[in-house]
A and B are shown apart, each in its own frame.
Chain A
Amino acid sequence: MKKKVLATLLATAMVAGCLAGCGNSDGGAASTPATDEAAPAEDTAPAEDAAPAEDAAPAEDTADSADASGSPIDTLIANTTGTVTMTVWASEEDQDLTTKLLDDFKAAYPDVTFDITLGAESESTAKDTILTDVEAAADVFAFADDQINELVQAGALQEVAAHYTYDVAAENASGAVEAATVDGKLYAYPMTADNGYFMFYDSSVFTEDDVQSLEKMVEVADAAGKKIAMDISNGWYIYAFFQGAGLELTLNDDGMTNTCTWNAAGGTDVAQSILDLTASNVFVDMGDEDMATQIAEGNVVACVNGTWRAETAAEAWGDNYAATKLPTFNVAGKDCQMSSYSGYKLVGVNPHSANLGWAMLLAEFLTNEDAQTARFEARGLGPANLAAASSDAVQSNPAIAALAAQAAYATPQRVGGNFWSPAETLGQILASGNPDGTDLQELLDTTVEGITAPVE
């Protein structure tokens, strides 16, 4: 008998070991089927929603322009019987604020029982998590606007076909609305307008005139023995040069592949210009993390970066901390204004949500004027909401003011996945002074081939 007990124990141990072992070895493959099981739960939801709708739907009002007429909301409240269960994803840094906003949201609809789970998911990687399994993703989530195309393509965004508590398109900055629009349809609720990049500088080194031209800045920094940093080997930033010189990079109608004219006439001049700028070793290629250390150490006195580095720069440079639009740079004897990607953080609603109506109301709530003001006050994030952005506090923030100045030259990020690797490598080669001496036209041709490659 004892033997059997031992044997059973051994068997259990073996099974446990096996399960643990297997779980590790092919987590990727195994997890997909597992999470997919969430799908059946979703299937029942539309039916449940639809049934009561039929009873209450013949509401008299023909509120096609759902403008502030509270009736759809009243219908929704009337139709909601059980607990409304929703998941919300906000970034790690946004947790406290979002928790507070969620409480306010619950308080705004006292007749409804909510069970809202708040998850942490960075805006910059939201797409990765959502696309793994759209049906299992959160009902309401925050994401950076560069992901909107892929999200729409994957059917992970509910079109903002109607608004209920505020006019999303009218109350937000036009750039933000454009960024949230795909093929003329609004797909998300703008949350912040601070995800672009611009120039930080130490005003004890540069004057306001100096920062108008990159060449002048290099000259000044060279004299001071300091460096200017930019993440040149990164597609997101190197775009500033080529776009600024009037070359094009656009997303094709298929939403996946790119059209790119960086190798057209003038392209080599831009490449040469970058080579010239970096040749002095004053204007250097540097990643975001390195930049933070170098700013703190005092080696870097100006850098192209975004609001997330504002604190680092402000701490290091103190009263001399300043920010402005990007400078011009010299292309074949002509000064060109550097362009940039404008960046917005948006809130999206998952079309597979079981409580679509509530999810849309919540998304509106998380992005309305009060919420955006609160977000600026709590975290210093620039509001996309026009009213919130016009407040004095926002206007006097140097980083946000710089972003606003750069906005005229910025374009929303609309680019297919094949852009990044080739552009990154182009930046790397140019920043390291084209070590193999490849013919610049050839270099650009290969890059463009990669960027415009069909998506296999």
Chain B
Amino acid sequence: MKKALNTLGNYFKNFGIAFVKGDIWVKLSAVLMGAGYFARKQVINGIIMCLVEVLFAVLCIGYAAPNLAKFGTLGTVQFEQVFDPLTMTSTVNDYDNSFLILLNSIISLFIIFVFIVFYISNMKAVYRLQQKKENGEHINNFREDVRTMFNEKFHITLLTLPAIGIIIMNILPILVLVAVAFTNYDQQHMPPNALFTWVGWSNFKNLFTSSVTVTFGYSFKKVLVWTLEWAVLATFTTYIGGILMAKFINDKKTKLPKLWRTLFIIAIAVPQFVTLLLVRNFFADSGIVNTFCNSIGFTDFLKNIGLVPSNLSYIPFLTNPGWAKVMIIIINIWIGIPYQMLVATGVLMNIPEDQIESARIDGANPLQIFIKITMPYVLFVTGPSLITDFVKNINNFNVIYLLTQDVFVTSDQLLANSNAKEVDLLVTWLFRLTNEYYNYKMASVIGIIVFIICAAFTLITFTRTIKGDKEEEFQ
């Protein structure tokens, strides 16, 4: 933290130094960005800098200013349309679109931010040129500058495109999402017909408070608990299952190991949603599994021991909260194990055979070898992927949504009042809120919370597992 502050301090300090100690040309660069380059005979660089400055000015006036002017209110002019039945056309007023204003404002702010960074580094670069000249060092001409982009500075060239991609595809949408969490963007306030505006922290307050009618807080707690339960169970079961499966298939006594492995990989090759939808039908209340259980008397047996309510003639695999949760985890084991098995197979093949050999000579039995040598090794190698799996499971949309959508009906009225279900993960709840109820603001809030949970968890566990020099232990 301190380090980060220091770096930031130095960053501005160097800028100050450049400005104060620079000669007239450097100082002039503060106004005309190309000035410093012209003075050192880097004419093309100078022209480019000036062009950038002009472009920025044009953007500011033509694009950023009109949008940012409305950023505080997100627009005030409501959409209006008048239809003329004679000409069969309609005229539309010059209305404000809150979403476009928000989006464009954030892009504008981002451009301004980038420009400031660019501006500061330009000042420093110009000052460096001045120093170079004073020290009599060689100053690159444009051609040489371009060449460095393919040699010493090749990493910059390489990273430009991915960086732009990440900014457009990830950072800007995330910034918009964060901003939406502080607005009242929902079905009542949907552009272009209606305006939405800032509401501060009230959406966050709603999430954590339960009043009589708005049961968001209650639902949030329940959904969060199940999300964490699910993430732990799903990660743990498939992980252990995958390792055991890999171990069994790799065992010398197993016949046709390649066949078994291929069979499991076929399970991966079939698109997950097809499998899941099929499984959902298998386990439907009148599905094939229920018909079978009924005919062999298993349903009655479960009724007798009280696992199935007596008024049902079927096993509520995916329709009763308890049953559904167990089924979801079991089905997830079934579709998750092949992946873990593949990973584990690779790791198991890399365990130094001499270690196992020496353990065997020392008289260790297979179980001891597995616990004392195999597992620690596998855990060390796959530790980071275990953490990513956990985070992935927190956001595991497919399994839950495809298995329970249209099938599961909650019998908890308080959950129902905020459109949640017992089996919902935060992410499926979020999906339902946005997709079926257009509650973008609450969805954004939940999205932010999910992000915080995942980020916090990842940071803590990563620093714990990778900390120190554990690597040494396995050398």
Chain B residues positioned under 8 Å from A10 (CB to CB): 158
Chain B residues positioned under 8 Å from A19 (CB to CB): 165, 169
Chain A residues positioned under 8 Å from B86 (CB to CB): 57, 59, 63, 66, 72, 75
Q: Is A332 an interface residue (CB 8 A)?
A: no
Q: Is A443 an interface residue (CB 8 A)?
A: yes
Provide the A439-456 mask, 1 if CB < 8 A to any CB of B, else 0.
000010011011011111
A456 to B213 Cα, complex, angstroms? 10
Known contacts A7-B158, A18-B166, A432-B309, A455 near B188 by CB under 8 Å: yes
> Are A424 and B173 within 8 A (Cβ)?
no
A156 to B187 Cα, complex, angstroms? 13
Known contacts A155-B193, A424-B416, A453 near B214 by CB under 8 Å: yes
Total A-B contacts with CB atoms under 8 angstroms apart: 212
Chain A residues positioned under 8 Å from B300 (CB to CB): none
Q: What total of chain A residues lie within 8 Å of the partner, measured CB to CB?
A: 90
Known contacts A39-B100, A426-B413, A454-B213, A134 near B192 by CB under 8 Å: yes
Q: Is A146 an interface residue (CB 8 A)?
A: no
Known contacts A72-B88, A131-B438, A455-B187, A22 near B413 by CB under 8 Å: no
Chain B residues positioned under 8 Å from A435 (CB to CB): 309, 411
Chain A residues positioned under 8 Å from B172 (CB to CB): 33
Closest chain A CB from B282 CB (angstroms): 12
> Are A26 and B79 within 8 A (Cβ)?
no
Interface size class of B (residues with CB under 8 A): 35 or more
Q: Is A41 an interface residue (CB 8 A)?
A: no
**Which of B103, B281, B438 is the one whose CB lies under 8 Å from A33?**
B103
Provide the A115-159 mask, 1 if CB < 8 A to any CB of B, else 0.
000000000000010010011000000000000001001111011
> Are B413 and A447 within 8 A (Cβ)?
yes
**Which of A30, A131, A425 is the one whose CB lies under 8 Å from B173?**
A30
> Are B417 and A290 within 8 A (Cβ)?
no
> Are A294 and B286 within 8 A (Cβ)?
yes
Provide the A268-297 mask, 1 if CB < 8 A to any CB of B, else 0.
000000000001010000110110011001
Provide the B165-195 mask, 1 if CB < 8 A to any CB of A, else 0.
1100110111011000000001110101110
> Are B311 and A432 within 8 A (Cβ)?
yes
Quick one: which of B88, B91, B313 has the most chain A CB within 10 A? B88
Closest chain A CB from B141 CB (angstroms): 22
Q: Is A53 an interface residue (CB 8 A)?
A: yes
**Which of A36, A59, A297, A455 is the one whose CB lies under 8 Å from B100?**
A36
Q: Is A98 an interface residue (CB 8 A)?
A: no
> Are B150 and A46 within 8 A (Cβ)?
no
Q: Is B296 an interface residue (CB 8 A)?
A: no
A450 to B215 Cα, complex, angstroms? 9
Known contacts A426-B413, A449-B212, A281 near B90 by CB under 8 Å: no
Interface residues of B in 434-462 (CB under 8 A from A): 434-439, 442
A63 to B88 Cα, complex, angstroms? 12
> Are A33 and B176 within 8 A (Cβ)?
yes
> Are B193 and A154 within 8 A (Cβ)?
yes
Provide the A410-434 mask, 1 if CB < 8 A to any CB of B, else 0.
0000000110011011111100110
Provide the B404-447 mask, 1 if CB < 8 A to any CB of A, else 0.
00110111111111110000000000000011111100100000
Interface residues of A in 9-47 (CB under 8 A from B): 10-11, 14-15, 18-19, 22-23, 25-26, 28-30, 32-33, 36, 39, 46
Residue on B with the closest CB to A59? Answer: B86
> Are A29 and B174 within 8 A (Cβ)?
yes
A443 to B412 Cα, complex, angstroms? 10
Chain B residues positioned under 8 Å from A134 (CB to CB): 190, 192-193
Known contacts A287-B407, A425-B410, A356 near B309 by CB under 8 Å: no
> Are A449 and B417 within 8 A (Cβ)?
yes
Chain B residues positioned under 8 Å from A18 (CB to CB): 162, 165-166, 169
Known contacts A29-B177, A449-B417, A360 near B313 by CB under 8 Å: no
Closest chain B CB from A27 CB (angstroms): 10
Known contacts A22-B169, A131-B190, A286-B285, A46 near B413 by CB under 8 Å: no
Closest chain B CB from A448 CB (angstroms): 10
> Are A450 and B213 within 8 A (Cβ)?
yes
Q: Is A205 an interface residue (CB 8 A)?
A: no
Q: Is B87 an interface residue (CB 8 A)?
A: yes
Interface residues of B in 50-109 (CB under 8 A from A): 79, 81, 83-92, 97, 99-100, 103
A302 to B83 Cα, complex, angstroms? 49
Closest chain B CB from A446 CB (angstroms): 4
Q: Is A334 an interface residue (CB 8 A)?
A: no
A443 to B416 Cα, complex, angstroms? 12
> Are B81 and A428 within 8 A (Cβ)?
no
> Are A233 and B409 within 8 A (Cβ)?
yes
Chain B residues positioned under 8 Å from A452 (CB to CB): 213
Residue on B with the closest CB to A422? Answer: B416
Closest chain A CB from B161 CB (angstroms): 4
Residue on A with the closest CB to B435? Answer: A128
Known contacts A158-B83, A287-B406, A429-B411, A357 near B88 by CB under 8 Å: yes
Provide the A224-252 mask, 1 if CB < 8 A to any CB of B, else 0.
00000000010000000000000000000
Q: Is B206 an interface residue (CB 8 A)?
A: yes
Q: Is B154 an interface residue (CB 8 A)?
A: yes
Chain B residues positioned under 8 Å from A30 (CB to CB): 169, 173
> Are A446 and B174 within 8 A (Cβ)?
no
A residues lining the B interface (CB < 8 Å)? 4, 7, 10-11, 14-15, 18-19, 22-23, 25-26, 28-30, 32-33, 36, 39, 46, 49-50, 53, 56-57, 59, 63-64, 66, 72-73, 75-76, 79, 128, 131, 134-135, 150, 153-156, 158-159, 161-162, 164, 233, 254, 256, 279, 281, 286-287, 289-290, 293-294, 297, 299, 351-352, 356-357, 360-361, 417-418, 421-422, 424-429, 432-433, 435, 443, 446-447, 449-450, 452-456
30 contacts between A and B (CB under 8 A): A10-B158, A18-B165, A18-B166, A22-B166, A29-B176, A30-B169, A33-B172, A36-B99, A36-B103, A49-B87, A64-B85, A72-B85, A75-B87, A79-B87, A128-B436, A153-B187, A153-B188, A155-B194, A233-B409, A254-B188, A281-B311, A352-B192, A418-B417, A422-B416, A424-B410, A425-B413, A428-B410, A443-B413, A455-B186, A456-B442
